[in-house]
């Protein structure tokens, strides 16, 4: 039974889930210990991550561990370490993952220093692709760091610890409640205990890129809290100042990714992946778009009290005097005013009617603008010219909804009243924009995705097994290369997941001859292994044991060893023979030769004194064994006989 006391070496040899046999410890962190194990069911090596015993008492942590581990198990991507199984047994919580034979990115940076910028971009593209897949599946990593990036022997990056990154260790902090992460790599919002989203992973990836390029992290300090405050408040030293060989566009990508404000970072991992790919292809161009923020301070503008000549601006009210007006004068003034209004009104009335008649004769003609949308340009030019409309082609555009030559838009719009003759500017369709599908077979699928997007096409990634195309490369695509399709359409990319794993159920081979058993093994798609012989009550050459048990499921081409019977073993018996030595010599060399069926062999040879006569010598054998007795070095036997030992059926 497994016990929840003292993990480490005591786990070696234990069996989890009646399936995973722990072989050796290969790593560990603040949250868990990692072991190499053998899956007995599928006969393959796996990595088993076991939650530290001090954390299992925290029910909230264990619950989050289980929920998020299940979410991580749903991810399937060539750059994500696969999660095969999740379980617990006797107080031990574990996750079974793909076993990677390689090193962590942290070990590579520590051992070799900064990476060459192209190698760094290659690793970053793979991490970005993994994050893009995870984010599309609503899984946020929250602990992207070089320690969680495995690099295989064939230089493939594999992101691990998806969904379980909220570990407690010496390099993690807890600020603002539930914000937990690796302090050198987490985002300002994680430091503040704020809202985290996909852009938090992008920030951490930017820090990882910074370290790959420079060999060091941008923010360091004496304590986790001090480092966290630098993430929130301080700007990093530009990576180009540390490594002058880095192209400027890579620095722009990194600085955009690690912007303090989430809104100033890349909106998605896919957007960042596009810029990284462009930087890999055209490192001399700086195409990274950044937010232009006006940081100029607010200034106090002084009050202007004087004008140019220095005199004060003043308004003074002039005092008036009262003047006495006679009554007769007032009446005369009123009468003059009334008379003026009458005269002016008469003149205005007459002038209005004269102008109205004139304007009616000279007024321009108005007409509503016709609706030209969807009509052929050449046909409307002729049709509406007689009505006083001049159709002017303003520009041409690609348009999926209108055939080539049809009008997409117009200005002025339909039914608007205009004075004719009048111009109508129209935009004409060039038809749907067509794009030739590029040849993408055997491309690394992330590069294929970016190539399609650069041509205005949408990648639709699907996965399939293949015996020859390496994992992560394009097997085929639909439509095929050089086929013209509308811009914006989907192209299906079938990406290799490596050779297909076929499971075989083993049969019972006991009782078969060795040759019969080998034929059955080959028919099942398995490989005959070594054949060992052992004594047995079963007939000779009959299979008595097999290395893969009856009914066990194993991968195709698994080797199967056999043990066959040698038949029943003869029992060896012992006889004592008496030999009288000649008395005419002081000493005699005695030699006994026996033939057990495989040829004559010396079974006894020794010098004896004559006083030792007679000699009593024990001999062992099976069946009837001819023997010959020689004295000294004579070639002629002094005695020949056949000893009957028995034991032969």
- Report the Cα–Cα distance between both ends of the chain, in Å, rounded: 49
CA distances from 69 to 38, 53, 59, 627 (A): 21, 17, 15, 77
CA distances from 52 to 8, 129, 143, 183 (A): 10, 31, 18, 20
Strand partners, 593: 602, 628
Residues 6+ apart with CB under 8 A from 453: 274, 459
The answer to whether 141 and 165 have CB atoms below 8 angstroms apart is: yes
Could you check whether the bond before residue 412 is cis, i.e. omega within 30 degrees of 0?
yes
In angstroms, the CA 620 to CA 645 distance is: 8
- Packing angle, helices 105-112 and 198-214, rounded to 10: 20
User: Measured between alpha carbons, how far is 292 from 287 in angstroms, rounded to an integer?
Assistant: 14
Euclidean distance between CA atoms 28 and 50, whole angstroms: 9
132-138: which pairs have CB atoms within 8 A and are 24 or more residues apart? 132/268, 132/269, 132/270, 132/273, 133/75, 133/77, 133/79, 133/80, 134/75, 134/77, 134/80, 134/162, 135/198, 135/201, 135/268, 135/269, 137/71, 137/74, 137/75
Stretch (H or E) spanning 422: strand 422-429
- Among 58, 85, 119, 143, the active-site one is 143
- H/E stretch holding 201: helix 198-214
Q: Which of 97, 115, 179 is nearest to 143 (CA)?
A: 179
Nearest partner of 228 among 179, 178, 268, 177, judged by Cα: 179
Q: For residue 47, what are the contacts with CB-CB under 8 A and spacing of at least 6?
A: 26, 34, 35, 36, 37, 81, 96, 97, 98, 99, 100
Is 143 a residue of the active site? yes
Rg (C-alpha) for the chain, rounded Å, is 48
Active-site residues, by number, are 143
């Amino acid at each position: 039974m497994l016990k929840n006391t003292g993990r480490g070496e005591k786990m070696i040899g234990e069996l989890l889930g009646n399936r995973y046999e722990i072989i050796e410890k290969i790593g560990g962190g603040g949250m868990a210990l990692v072991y190499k194990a053998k899956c007995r069911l599928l006969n393959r090596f796996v990595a088993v991550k076991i939650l530290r015993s001090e954390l299992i008492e925290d029910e909230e942590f264990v619950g989050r561990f289980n929920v998020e581990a299940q979410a991580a198990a749903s991810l399937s991507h060539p750059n994500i370490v696969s999660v095969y199984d999740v379980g617990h047994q006797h107080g031990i919580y574990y996750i079974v993952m793909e076993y990677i034979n390689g090193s962590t990115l942290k070990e590579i940076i520590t051992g070799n220093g900064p990476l060459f910028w192209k190698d760094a971009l290659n690793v970053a593209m793979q991490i970005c692709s993994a994050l893009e897949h995870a984010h599309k599946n609503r899984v946020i990593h929250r602990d992207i760091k070089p320690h969680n990036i495995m690099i295989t022997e064939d230089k493939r990056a594999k992101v691990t610890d998806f969904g379980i990154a909220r570990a407690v260790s010496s390099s993690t902090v807890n600020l603002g409640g539930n914000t937990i992460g690796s302090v050198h790599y987490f985002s300002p919002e994680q430091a503040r205990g704020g809202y985290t989203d996909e852009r938090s992973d992008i920030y951490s990836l930017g820090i990882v890129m910074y370290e790959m390029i420079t060999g060091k992290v941008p923010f360091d300090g004496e304590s986790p809290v001090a480092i966290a405050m630098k993430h929130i408040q301080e700007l990093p030293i530009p990576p180009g100042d540390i490594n002058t060989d880095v192209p400027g566009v890579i620095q722009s990508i990194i600085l955009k990714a690690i912007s303090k404000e989430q809104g100033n970072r890349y909106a998605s991992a896919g957007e960042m992946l596009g810029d990284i790919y462009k930087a890999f292809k055209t490192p001399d161009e700086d195409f990274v778009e950044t937010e232009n923020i006006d940081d100029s301070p607010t200034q106090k503008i002084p009050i202007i009290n004087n004008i140019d000549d220095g005199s004060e601006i003043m308004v003074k009210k002039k005092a008036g005097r009262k003047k006495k007006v006679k009554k007769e004068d007032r009446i005369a003034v009123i009468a003059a005013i009334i008379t003026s209004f009458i005269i002016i009104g008469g003149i205005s009335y007459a002038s209005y009617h004269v102008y109205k008649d004139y304007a009616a004769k000279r007024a321009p003609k108005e007409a509503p603008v016709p609706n030209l949308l969807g009509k052929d340009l050449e046909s409307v030019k002729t049709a509406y010219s007689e009505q006083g409309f001049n159709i002017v082609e303003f520009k041409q555009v690609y348009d999926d909804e209108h055939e080539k030559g049809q009008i997409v838009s117009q200005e002025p719009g339909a039914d608007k009243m205009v004075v004719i003759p009048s111009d109508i500017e129209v935009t004409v369709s060039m038809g749907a924009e067509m794009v030739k599908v590029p040849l993408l077979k055997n491309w690394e699928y992330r590069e294929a995705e970016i190539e399609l997007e650069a041509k205005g096409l949408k990648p639709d990634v699907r996965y399939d097994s293949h015996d020859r195309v390496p994992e992560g490369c394009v097997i085929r695509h639909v439509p095929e290369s050089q086929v013209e399709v509308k811009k914006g359409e989907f192209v299906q990319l079938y990406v290799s997941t490596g050779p297909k794993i076929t499971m075989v159920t083993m049969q019972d081979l006991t009782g078969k001859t060795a040759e019969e058993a080998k034929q059955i093994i080959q028919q099942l798609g398995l490989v005959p292994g070594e054949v060992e012989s052992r004594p047995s009550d079963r007939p000779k050459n009959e299979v008595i044991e097999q290395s893969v048990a009856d009914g066990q499921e194993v991968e195709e081409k698994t080797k199967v060893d056999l043990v066959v019977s040698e038949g029943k073993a003869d029992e060896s018996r012992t006889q004592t023979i008496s030999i009288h030595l000649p008395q005419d010599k002081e000493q005699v060399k005695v030699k006994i030769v026996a033939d057990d069926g495989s040829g004559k062999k010396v079974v006894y040879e020794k010098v004896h004194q004559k006083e030792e006569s007679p000699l009593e010598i024990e001999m062992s054998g099976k069946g009837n064994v001819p023997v010959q007795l020689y004295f000294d070095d004579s070639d002629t036997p002094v005695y020949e006989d056949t000893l009957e030992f028995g034991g032969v059926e």
